[in-house]
Amino acid sequence: MPEILKVLVVDDELGIQKGCQRVLTEYKFTLPDVEDEISFEVATTG
């Protein structure tokens, strides 16, 4: 099962919020010490 990191982006500029969300939502990576793929669940507020 993939590891999911929950991220809260807090910024008063909507463009920054949406940019972070767009980049991190599709980003996946692996680490040598972790067997599963790591991805992000992104929430925004500002």
DSSP assignment of the chain equals --EEEEEEEE-S-HHHHHHHHHHHHH-EEEETTEEEEEEEEEEEE-
| Torsion region of 16: left, alpha or beta (phi above 0 gives left; psi -120 to 50 gives alpha) | alpha
Q: For tokens 């990576």, name the residue.
A: 29
What is the amino acid identity at position 2? P
- Say whether pLDDT at 1 is over 90: no
What is the amino acid identity at position 8? L
Structure confidence by residue, pLDDT tens digits, 20-46: 999 999 999 999 998 999 999 999 998
The more confident residue out of 1 and 4 is 4
